[in-house]
C-alpha cells in the first residue's frame, strides 16, 4: 500500500490565523492597526476588533469550526478552555444566526473561583477575565469535539491580579525589551525597534502501551510508577539513544508532526532518547510567548495522538525509577526585530564589546538570582530527577566553554582581552571524509545553564512543566542586569572606559557562578558550597525564593508581580506539593492494600501448599521453604510500612498551614513511601509473574 505523501510547505500553518491570513482577509487599514498593536503595544480600537473578529469567525467557519474558546494557562500548569458556539439568538423564522463580536474576541469571563489563586480570591468571589493576546496567533484545533477556534489569552481576577502564566510572561518580555533597547542605544544602534527573547523548548517523553497503562493505578493517578523493579536490561548498552525508531513510534511521530505543522508549530528534530521507551521532539525557535503556547500545544497533541494510536504519552519527569527521567531544555536567546542576536559572540568575542556586556550582565543576573532560577524549574516530579546524575544538579551554575572562559580570565587578570581561542580543523583521517572546522569549545551536558554558541540552554526544566516560569525569571533578571548597567553607562563621561570597567567588574564579581567541569561530581557540591552558591535540593527548599526581599524588589521594580501575587504563588506551590504527595501516598496505599499485598499472600499460600505437598511426598522442600520465608518476611515489612504511611498521610491532612504541611509531606510522607516501595520492589523479583497484579517495567518499556 502506497503511503500518502505530505507536503510540509502545503500544510504548515494551515489552521493558524497568521499574518498571511490576516493580510488576505483584513482591510489594509485594519491590518495595519492590528500590526501596530502586535508590534508596538498600541491599544486596539474596538471598531478594529469587530472587523478582526468577523474575519476570524468566517475563516474558522470555513475550517469547520462550530465553537470558539479563550485558551488560557491558569496556575494549574496546564491549559484551560470554555467553549461557546457562534450561535446568536435565531431569526423569527427559526434560522440560525452566527455571530462573533470584537468584544467576544477581546474579553471573556470564565469562572475564576475554581482555579488556584493562593488566597488572592475567596472561593465565593467567582469573577475572572480572559484577555486576547494578539501577539500569539489564534488557531483552529480539530479533535473529537469538532473544530474549535482557540484564542490565546491572559487570565486575571476581577481585582486585576494575574491568575495565569501568560500575563507575567508578557510583562517580563516588555520589561526586557525596554532595558535591552536602552543598552543598544548606548552602543549606537538606532535602527532596532524591539528586542524579543527567542525560545525553543526540547520536549522529552515516554510512550507506553495504553492497555498496560490502564492496569497501573499509579500511572493513571500520578503519571509515574510508584512501584516497580528494574528489568534485566535497562539503558546500560546505550542502544536506545539515537537508535532506529520502531514502527509504532515512527507512526506516532509522523502523526504529531503533521498535527503540529498544521498548528504552526515548527517541530523539527525527533529521535530516541537515552532510556528505553523515551523519545524527544524539538522545535525551531520562536518568540517567547509563542514558544510557551506552542509547547503547551505540543504536550496536548502528544497525549491525544498517543491515545488514538493505542498508547499513552508520559510527560512526568520520572515515569520509571532506575532509568533516565525526562527534562525540557529551554533554549533562550535575545533577538532584535532586524535580526541581530545579542548572544552571538562572532568570530572574535574578545573584541565584541557589546556581546561581552550582554554576557557579563547575564552572569550577574544568574549569580544574583540563582535561587529564583532554580525555583522556576521546581515541581514534585523534578524532585525525582534533578541531581541524580542524569540531569543537571540542583546547584545553578553557568557553563561558558573554553573560548569564553579564556576571554573572561584575560579580563579578570589583566583587565584586557586580546585574543579568542579558535576551534581549528578536525581531521577525520579518512580520505573520503571531509575535514572540517570544529567549534571553539566542547559541550557540557551536566551544566544547568550552558552557553551553546549563540544562546543559553537552561536544562533544569522538567518535562511536564510550563516553560513560562523559567522564561519569566530569565527575562526579568536580565532586564534588571541591563537596567543596572545602563544606569551606570548613561552617566559615564568616558563611555569606552566605563564599558571596559563594567565588563571587568561584572566578570570578576560573578566568576563564582561559572563552572565548566563535571556537575555530577561530589567535588562540585563541595566547591559550590565553598563559593557560596545555593544548593536547593527540592521543591520545598526552593519555594521561599519567591518571596524574599530581593525577589519582591526585583519583580515589583519591573511590575511583573505584585508582592501579593508572589505570596499567592508561593502558597499555591506549597499547597500543590502537598496535594501531589498525598495523591501519590494514597495511590500507594490503594495499590499495596488492595492488590499487591493480597497477591503476595496468595503466592505465600501457594508456596505453603507446595511445602506441605513436598513434605508429605518425602521430598526435600528447602528451596520452597526459603522462598516462602523471604516472601513472608518482605510482606510483613511492607505491611508495617503501609500502616506507617497511612498514619502519616492522615496526619498531613490535618495540618492547616500550607508550608508546614508541605514540610511534613517531604520529611515524613515521602520517607514512608520509600520504605513501602523497597520491600514491594523486592517482592516483584520473587513472586510468580502469574500472581503479580500489574505490568512490569519490562512489559511497558520494551513492548511498544
CATH of the domain at 53: 3.10.20.70
pLDDT surpasses 70 at 3: no
pLDDT surpasses 80 at 4: no
The lowest-confidence range among 189-193, 420-424, 563-567, 672-676 is 420-424
Domain match, 602 and 480 both = no
Domain match, 263 and 208 both = yes
Average pLDDT, the chain: 94
- Sequence-distant (≥ 6) Cβ neighbours of residue 387 within 8 angstroms: 393, 394, 537
What residues are paired with 141 via a beta bridge?
148
- Sequence-distant (≥ 6) Cβ neighbours of residue 527 within 8 angstroms: 515
Q: Residue 240: inside a domain, yes or no?
A: yes
- pLDDT above 70 as % of the chain: 99
Write down which residue in 294, 326, 358 finishes a domain.
326
The span from the first CA to the last CA of the chain, in angstroms, equals: 23
**CA distances from residue 130 to 5, 110, 172 in whole angstroms, order as listed:** 40, 7, 19
Write down which residue in 304, 326, 348 finishes a domain.
326
**Segment 351-361 mean pLDDT:** 96
Q: Residue 549: inside a domain, yes or no?
A: no
Say what the pLDDT of residue 42 is. Answer: 84
Domain match, 481 and 497 both = yes
**Segment 213-217 mean pLDDT:** 97
Distance CA 456, CA 469 (A): 16
Q: Residue 646: inside a domain, yes or no?
A: yes
- Can you give the residue range of the structural domain that contains 310? 203-326
CATH number at residue 218: 3.30.590.10
109 vs 257, residue with greater confidence: 257
3-state secondary structure of 618: coil
pLDDT surpasses 80 at 447: yes
pLDDT surpasses 70 at 2: no
What residues are paired with 131 via a beta bridge?
107, 154
Domain match, 474 and 515 both = yes
3-state SS string for 178-218: HHHHHHHHHCCCCCCCCEEEEEEECEEEEEEEHHHHCCCHH
Domain match, 44 and 74 both = yes
Domain match, 152 and 264 both = no
Say what the pLDDT of residue 323 is. Answer: 93
pLDDT surpasses 80 at 440: no
Say what the pLDDT of residue 1 is. Answer: 44
Per-residue pLDDT tens for 488-537?
Answer: 999 999 999 999 999 999 999 999 999 999 999 999 999 999 999 999 99
Per-residue pLDDT tens for 58-99?
Answer: 999 999 999 999 999 999 989 999 999 999 888 777 787 889
H/E run at residue 56 = helix 46-62
The values of phi and psi at residue 334, to 5°, are: -125, 125
Q: Residue 567: inside a domain, yes or no?
A: no
Q: Residue 294: inside a domain, yes or no?
A: yes
Q: Residue 545: inside a domain, yes or no?
A: no
Strands 425-426 vs 436-437: parallel, antiparallel or unpaired: antiparallel
CATH number at residue 636: 1.20.120.1560
Domain match, 401 and 494 both = yes
pLDDT surpasses 80 at 30: yes
Distance CA 636, CA 607 (A): 16
pLDDT surpasses 80 at 690: yes
What residues are paired with 205 via a beta bridge?
279
3-state secondary structure of 72: strand
Domain match, 623 and 680 both = yes
- When pLDDT is cut at 50, 70 and 90, the band that residue 123 belongs to is low
Distance CA 392, CA 363 (A): 18
Q: Are 184 and 336 in contact (CB under 8 A)?
A: yes
Tell me which range, 71-80, 151-160, 355-364, is most confidently predicted by mean pLDDT. 355-364
Alpha helices in 263-314 (DSSP H): 288-308
Say what the pLDDT of residue 275 is. Answer: 93
Domain match, 179 and 264 both = no
Write down which residue in 266, 295, 326 finishes a domain.
326
Taking the CA atoms of residue 29, residue 31, residue 35 and residue 36 in that order, the dihedral angle to the nearest 10 degrees is 20
Q: How many domains does the chain have?
A: 4
Domain match, 207 and 187 both = no
Domain match, 276 and 261 both = yes
Residue 29: HSE in the Cβ half-sphere, 13 Å Cα cutoff: 4
- When pLDDT is cut at 50, 70 and 90, the band that residue 5 belongs to is confident
Say what the pLDDT of residue 127 is. Answer: 79
Q: Residue 464: inside a domain, yes or no?
A: yes
Name which of 324, 228, 242 is nearest 681 in CA terms.
228
Q: At what angle do helices 46-62 and 28-40 cross, to 10 degrees?
A: 100
Q: Residue 547: inside a domain, yes or no?
A: no
Domain match, 196 and 214 both = no
Amino acid at each position: 500500500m502506497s503511503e500518502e505523501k505530505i507536503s510540509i510547505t502545503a500544510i504548515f500553518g494551515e489552521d493558524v490565523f497568521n499574518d498571511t491570513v490576516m493580510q488576505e482577509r483584513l482591510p489594509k487599514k485594519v491590518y495595519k492597526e492590528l500590526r501596530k498593536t502586535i508590534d508596538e503595544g498600541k491599544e486596539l480600537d474596538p471598531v478594529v476588533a469587530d472587523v478582526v473578529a468577523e474575519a476570524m469567525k468566517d475563516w474558522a467557519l470555513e475550517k469547520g469550526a462550530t465553537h470558539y474558546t479563550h485558551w488560557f494557562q491558569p496556575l494549574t500548569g496546564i491549559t484551560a478552555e470554555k467553549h461557546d458556539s457562534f450561535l446568536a439568538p435565531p431569526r423569527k423564522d427559526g434560522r440560525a444566526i452566527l455571530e462573533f463580536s470584537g468584544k467576544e474576541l477581546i474579553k471573556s469571563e470564565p469562572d475564576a473561583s475554581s482555579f488556584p489563586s493562593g488566597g488572592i480570591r475567596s472561593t465565593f468571589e467567582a469573577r475572572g477575565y480572559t484577555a486576547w493576546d494578539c501577539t500569539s496567533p489564534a488557531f483552529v484545533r480539530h479533535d473529537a469535539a469538532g473544530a474549535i477556534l482557540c484564542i490565546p489569552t491572559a487570565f486575571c481576577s476581577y481585582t486585576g491580579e494575574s491568575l495565569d502564566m501568560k500575563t507575567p510572561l508578557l510583562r517580563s518580555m516588555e520589561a526586557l525589551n525596554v532595558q535591552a533597547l536602552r543598552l543598544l542605544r548606548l552602543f549606537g544602534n538606532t535602527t532596532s525597534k524591539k528586542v524579543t527573547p527567542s525560545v525553543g523548548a526540547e520536549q522529552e517523553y515516554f510512550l507506553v502501551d495504553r492497555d498496560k497503562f490502564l492496569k497501573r493505578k499509579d500511572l493513571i493517578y500520578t503519571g509515574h510508577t510508584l512501584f516497580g523493579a528494574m528489568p534485566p536490561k535497562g539503558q546500560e548498552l546505550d542502544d536506545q539513544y539515537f537508535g532506529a525508531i520502531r514502527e509504532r513510534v515512527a507512526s506516532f511521530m509522523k502523526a504529531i508532526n503533521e498535527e503540529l505543522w498544521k498548528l504552526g508549530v515548527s517541530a523539527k528534530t525527533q529521535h530516541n532518547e537515552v532510556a528505553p521507551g523515551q523519545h524527544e521532539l524539538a522545535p525551531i525557535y520562536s518568540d517567547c510567548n509563542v514558544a510557551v503556547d506552542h509547547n503547551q500545544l505540543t504536550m496536548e497533541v502528544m497525549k491525544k495522538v498517543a491515545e488514538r494510536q493505542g498508547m499513552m504519552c508520559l510527560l512526568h519527569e520520572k515515569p520509571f525509577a532506575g532509568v533516565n527521567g525526562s527534562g525540557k531544555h529551554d533554549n533562550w536567546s535575545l533577538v532584535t526585530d532586524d535580526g541581530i542576536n545579542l548572544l552571538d559572540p562572532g568570530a572574535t568575542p574578545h573584541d565584541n564589546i557589546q556581546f561581552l556586556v550582554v554576557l557579563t550582565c547575564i552572569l550577574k543576573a544568574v549569580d544574583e538570582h540563582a535561587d529564583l532560577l532554580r525555583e522556576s524549574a521546581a515541581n514534585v516530579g523534578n524532585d525525582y530527577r534533578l541531581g541524580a546524575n542524569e540531569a543537571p544538579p540542583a546547584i545553578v551554575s553557568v557553563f561558558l566553554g573554553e573560548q569564553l572562559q579564556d576571554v573572561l580570565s584575560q579580563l579578570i587578570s589583566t583587565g584586557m582581552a586580546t585574543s579568542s581561542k579558535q576551534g581549528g580543523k578536525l581531521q577525520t583521517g579518512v580520505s573520503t571524509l571531509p575535514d572540517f572546522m570544529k567549534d571553539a569549545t566542547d559541550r557540557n551536558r551536566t551544566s544547568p545553564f550552558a552557553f551553546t554558541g549563540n544562546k543559553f540552554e537552561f536544562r533544569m526544566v522538567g518535562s511536564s512543566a510550563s516553560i513560562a516560569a523559567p522564561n519569566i525569571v530569565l527575562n526579568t533578571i536580565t532586564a534588571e542586569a541591563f537596567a543596572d548597567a545602563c544606569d551606570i553607562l548613561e552617566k559615564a563621561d568616558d563611555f569606552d572606559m566605563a564599558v571596559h570597567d563594567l565588563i571587568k567588574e561584572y566578570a570578576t564579581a560573578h566568576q563564582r557562578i561559572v563552572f565548566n567541569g563535571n556537575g555530577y561530581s561530589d567535588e562540585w557540591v563541595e566547591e559550590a558550597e565553598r563559593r557560596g552558591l545555593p544548593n536547593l535540593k527540592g521543591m520545598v527548599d526552593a519555594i521561599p525564593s519567591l518571596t524574599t526581599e530581593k525577589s519582591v524588589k526585583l519583580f515589583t521594580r519591573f511590575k511583573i508581580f505584585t508582592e501579593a501575587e508572589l505570596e499567592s504563588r508561593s502558597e499555591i506551590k506549597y499547597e500543590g506539593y502537598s496535594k501531589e504527595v498525598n495523591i501519590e501516598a494514597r495511590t500507594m496505599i490503594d495499590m499495596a492494600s488492595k492488590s499487591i499485598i493480597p497477591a503476595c499472600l496468595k503466592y505465600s499460600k501457594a508456596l505453603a501448599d507446595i511445602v506441605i505437598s513436598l513434605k508429605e511426598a518425602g521430598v526435600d522442600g528447602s528451596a520452597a521453604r526459603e522462598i516462602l520465608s523471604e516472601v513472608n518476611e518482605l510482606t510483613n515489612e511492607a505491611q508495617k510500612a503501609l500502616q506507617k504511611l497511612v498514619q502519616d498521610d492522615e496526619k498531613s491532612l490535618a495540618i492547616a498551614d500550607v508550608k508546614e504541611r508541605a514540610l511534613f509531606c517531604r520529611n515524613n510522607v515521602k520517607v514512608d513511601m520509600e520504605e513501602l516501595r523497597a520491600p514491594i520492589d523486592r517482592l516483584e523479583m520473587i513472586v510468580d509473574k502469574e500472581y503479580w497484579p500489574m505490568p512490569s517495567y519490562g512489559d511497558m518499556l520494551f513492548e511498544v
